Chain A
Amino acid sequence: MNVGIDPRKVIVCRCENVTLADVLNAIESGLDNLEVLKRKLRIGMGQCQGQTCLLLVAGILARKTGKSFDEVLIPRNRPPISPVKVKYFIGDER
Chain B
Amino acid sequence: MKTDVLIIGGGVTGLFTAVSLLEQGCRNIVIIEKSYIGSGGTFRCATGIRASFTSREHVNVMKRAIDLWPEYARKLGFLYRRDGYLWVLTRERDVEFFKQVVEFHHSLGVPSRMISPEEVREIVPSINTNGILAAVYDPLAGKAQVFNAVLNAVIHLKRNNINVYEGMRALKISDEGSRIVVETNKGRVEADKVIVAAGKDSANLLKGLGVELPIHNLAKHVLITEAFKPVIKPLIIDWSSSSYILQVFHGNIYIGSDIPEKYDEPAVNKYMFLEKAAKVWTRYFPWLGEVYVLRYWTGYYDMTPDHHPIIGPLEENENILVAAGFSGHGFMMAPAVAEALTQYILGGKPTIPEFENLKPDRFKKGKLIKEIAVFG
Which A residues contact B (CB, under 8 angstroms)? 29-31, 33, 35-36, 39-40, 42, 45-47, 49, 73, 78-80, 83-87, 89-91
Contact = CB atoms under 8 A, between A and B. Distances in A.
Nearest to B277: A89
A80 B224 CA distance: 11
A90 B297 contact: no
B155 A36 contact: no
Contacts of A91: 275, 279
Contacts of A85: 289-293
Given A30-B158, A89-B277, A80 B296 contact: yes
B151 A87 contact: no
B293 A83 contact: yes
Contacts of A47: 226, 292, 294
Given A47-B226, A49-B294, A78-B295, A86 B151 contact: no
A45 B147 CA distance: 12
Measured as residues with beta carbon below 8 angstroms from the partner, the interface class of chain B is: 20 to 34
Nearest to A42: B250
A16 to B, nearest CB: 9
B147 A87 contact: no
Contact of A33 (B36, B43, B250, B295): B36
B49 to A, nearest CB: 19
Given A79-B296, A83-B226, A90 B36 contact: no
Nearest to A73: B36
Contacts of A90: 275, 278-279, 282, 289
A29 B77 CA distance: 15
A40 B76 CA distance: 13
B43 A89 contact: no
A29 B155 contact: yes
B37 interface: yes
A-B interface, 9 closest residue pairs, ranked by CB to CB distance from nearest: A87-B289, A83-B292, A89-B278, A78-B295, A39-B147, A35-B36, A89-B274, A30-B158, A90-B278
Contacts of B290: 85-87
Contacts of A45: 294-295
B185 to A, nearest CB: 15
Contact of B294 (A30, A33, A40, A83): A83
B151 A36 contact: yes
Contacts of B297: 78
B351 interface: no
A33 B174 CA distance: 31
A87 to B, nearest CB: 3
Contacts of B346: none
A89 B39 CA distance: 28
B270 to A, nearest CB: 11
Contacts of B281: 86
Contacts of B296: 78-80
